[in-house]
Chain A
């Protein structure tokens, strides 16, 4: 289904992509504006990047956010993979419907509800068990894992379904016990899914404002919380600079992942060529 794109569709593609990208491009351009008033052009400058590097609270927030994102991504990938395996490979088990529901719900649940419920949960826990003593890194990470694992599970489920269970059956047939099958066949085959799951969980965590705002405590500002508190009052050139850095950082990360996938595709093409060569 290609090569027959009508003019209407081409125009819509152009409009769609313009709509998606122009705001981001403008945001980046204005980060190099000398003027203190964001929309008023005052000539090219890297002044606001300098301002950014000199503000310690920004660096604290960046560090906290990265710490949360890495821990979250790792745990969410592990839990999400197990969840995906359970849903796709284990057939029926007690509570499967509830489990499936809880895996889909976080994808669409309004963040304010998730955030509020986790906050009151943490407070009740503290009342009952005296833990968590203070809200911050731990509570935000737990909250992030809870919704990130659902996203990872979606990716893993799709990949597992696509793989079919032929390979796992073949391994069992050749004498591998279930645990061996998982470590030698399932996990290696899942590798691309694990990579994209980890990356997705990482960026979801870096991105989250609402849930983190609910479950954080005094003094623990993640990067989105810091940015939000500043832009609520209006445009700020230093935020444009920060945004540019974040966007480029994520873009580079995603580009690396894309290159890995592209290499994989190229390898597949070479393999096919090799397969078609006559036997020697």
Chain B
């Protein structure tokens, strides 16, 4: 159909056949666009979870890989089925795991609140800045997000160490005589999480606030509402979607954080990500590691679903 002139001399039946052929190419092209990434995710994202689920129901064997074979399990008797839930029973019975899960959730929630307390005014401050400052400030928020996460955590090791910058500063000012231990404490983990996850809080908040109609504030002021009242009655409720998105974006990955508790918490702060890694790498107990992962996933399924719901909703709004 590239040339209408040529086309006119082609008999209609052939033309119809060609149109159908071209149509099938078009639709197969569409199928390709959908299925290439879809297939990739099905194979490399979804399928692995099923394997983890399967292994969490397997028993530990001294071999490579260190778990029993699925085939055995499928053909297995009642005895093996009892055995396979052992990993979960073990996790529930050993108080170490329960404590670690609770601790992870606690640290993630508190860090999320601090991220919000710092991030909200910063995002709001950027929104309220002039047209020149605004993009620059936003850029300055994004920049650390592009630089290495690991190195940003490392930077805090230098600040928080016993002979680190903060302690040296405090000693030289004469405020303290012996260094305060900050590195390898829970405090360091909080600082690390808030520091590295702050941009994840600020960006969704900023995106949400940017959509706000500035005349709403003027309307509220015109109707006699003071700035504080306006903030709580107008701005805060309207930025709720941003708060939820930002909080989940911090909370969910922070719960499973491995690097920060390992580097800044040392052996003193136990979080589930670290426990899982140790179970897998040190103890080489893959079935238990898988069971730990499955339980963690179950804990996070609800927040993840909420996040997805908000993502879908905000993409529909625009």
Contacts and interface: CB of A to CB of B under 8 A. Distances in A.
A–B interface present (Cβ within 8 A): yes
Given A79-B40, A118-B44, A243-B151, A8 B212 contact: no
Interface stretch (B5-13, B74-82, B93-101, B272-280): B272-280
B122 A258 contact: no
Interface in A1-44: 1-6, 8-10, 12-13, 15-17, 19-21, 23-24, 26-27, 30, 37-40
A171 interface: no
Contacts of A119: 280
B92 interface: no
B181 interface: no
Interface of A is mostly: helix
Interface string B127-168: 111110010010111111011111110111111010111001
B293 interface: yes
B128 A2 contact: yes
A3 to B, nearest CB: 5
A90 B29 CA distance: 12
B33 A179 contact: no
Most chain A CB inside 10 Å of its own CB: which residue of B48, B142, B318? B48
Most chain B CB inside 10 Å of its own CB: which residue of A80, A110, A157, A162? A110
B45 A102 contact: yes
Interface residues of A, number: 99
A90 B41 contact: no
A7 to B, nearest CB: 11
Interface residues of B, number: 97
A177 B30 CA distance: 12
A20 B41 contact: no
A106 interface: yes
B212 A1 contact: yes
B252 interface: yes
B187 interface: no
Nearest to A147: B45
Interface of B is mostly: helix
B214 interface: yes
Nearest to B108: A110
B55 interface: yes
Contacts of A80: 37
Contacts of B315: 157-158, 161
Most chain B CB inside 10 Å of its own CB: which residue of A16, A107, A247? A16
Interface string A123-167: 110010000000000000011011001000100011001100000
Interface stretch (B83-91, B236-244, B305-313): B305-313
A108 B148 contact: no
Nearest to A175: B1
Nearest to A230: B154
A110 B252 contact: yes
B168 A15 contact: no
B44 A146 contact: yes
A111 B304 contact: no
Contacts of B150: 207, 209, 224, 227-228
Interface of B: 22, 26, 29-30, 33-34, 36-38, 40-42, 44-49, 51-52, 55, 65, 118-119, 121-122, 124-131, 134, 137, 139-144, 146-152, 154-159, 161, 163-165, 168, 195, 198, 212, 214, 217, 227, 248-249, 252-253, 255-259, 262-263, 272-273, 276-277, 280, 286, 289-290, 293, 296-297, 300, 303-304, 307-308, 311-312, 315, 318
Given A13-B129, A17-B137, A120-B52, 14 more contacts: A13-B122, A13-B125, A37-B163, A39-B163, A99-B41, A108-B249, A112-B273, A116-B280, A120-B55, A146-B41, A210-B273, A224-B150, A234-B157, A235-B161
19 contacts: A1-B128, A4-B128, A6-B227, A9-B124, A26-B158, A27-B154, A82-B34, A85-B33, A86-B38, A105-B308, A109-B256, A113-B276, A113-B297, A116-B293, A203-B146, A210-B277, A234-B157, A235-B157, A251-B146
